[in-house]
Amino acid sequence: MTGTVGVPMTTIEARLESVPEMGYDALSNVARGEICLRGNTLFSGYHKREDLTKEVMVDGWFHTGDIGEWQPNGSMKIIDRKKNIFKLSQGEYIAVENIENKYLQCPLITTIWVYGNSFESFLVAVVVPERKAIEDWALEHNLTDDFKSLCDNLKARKYILDELNSTAQKHQVYIYNSLSYNSNFSFYDIFYLY
């Protein structure tokens, strides 16, 4: 079951709902669609947010926003998101997948996850440095630290931030402020991208 989220619990009903605008058909030979869950162990709604509850709960089914694919062994694999768009507090819609794909062009990172919500005017990202690239850079600068220590190294942090900003400019990522460096920055912190 590697690469899957496993099989549904016995207390949960799970089904896929077709998402034709994205090309996903829950009734095709390879069933793909939005994962919907129902059961007594699920939450009943968002606390004091009836508007959000109405968006995700339809006829007792919780619409997760995840696109899943049933596997032959009965497990579910998440393959996409129904909505990778966020509306920020100033009313601007942001397609984060586009931003993630552009930042992934930076040779110093392997993974980036971008998040936003309608209560803030910025996006945040979690970035995973590319181990070999950082270790190669360290050798060029006569540093013999292990990878974790390199990620905490002030010069390495500045180098990665500079490369991320360069990648943003090169690939025309529209940002209000470029990523900034300060001595408190850590790869365990969150980047402000937007």
113-127 confidence digits (pLDDT tens): 888 777 887 787 888
Closest CA to 126 of 117, 115, 113: 113
What are the structure tokens assigned to 141, written together?
Answer: 């600068």
**Pair 107, 167 in one domain:** yes
| 4 domain-assigned | no
Looking at this protein, which amino acid is placed at residue 60?
A: G
164 assigned to some structural domain:
yes
- Regarding whether 162 and 178 lie in a shared domain, the answer is yes
- In the prediction, which pLDDT does 189 show? 40
Residue 34: name the closest of 58, 8, 66 by CA.
66
Residue 154 lies in a domain: yes
| Same-domain check for residues 74 and 53 | yes
pLDDT number for residue 31? 94
In a domain, 2, yes or no: no
Give residue 99's pLDDT: 83
CA distance 112 to 97: 10
Of 60, 81, 102, which residue sits at a domain end? 81
CA dist 185 and 192 (Å) reads 11
Whole-number pLDDT of residue 188: 39
DSSP H stretches of helix in the chain: 50-56, 96-103, 131-140, 147-152, 154-170
Determine the pLDDT at residue 75: 92
> What's the pLDDT score for residue 86?
72
- Angstrom distance (rounded) from CA 34 to CA 82: 7
Q: What is the pLDDT of residue 175?
A: 57
Domain co-membership, 53 together with 109: no
Domain membership flag for residue 43: yes
Q: Are residues 185 and 104 both part of a single domain?
A: yes
pLDDT tens track for 49-89:
898 899 899 999 999 988 999 999 999 998 888 877 677 78
pLDDT of residue 124: 79
**Residues of the chain falling short of pLDDT 70:** 1-3, 85, 174-194
Strands 76-81 and 93-95: unpaired
Domain that includes residue 17, residue range: 13-81
Distance (Å, rounded) from C-alpha 33 to C-alpha 66? 8
Contact between 185 and 157 under an 8 Å Cβ cutoff? The reply is yes
Q: Which residues contact 132 (CB under 8 A, 6 or more apart)?
A: none
- One-letter identity of residue 31: A
Per-residue pLDDT at 3: 64
Q: 42 with 106, same domain?
A: no
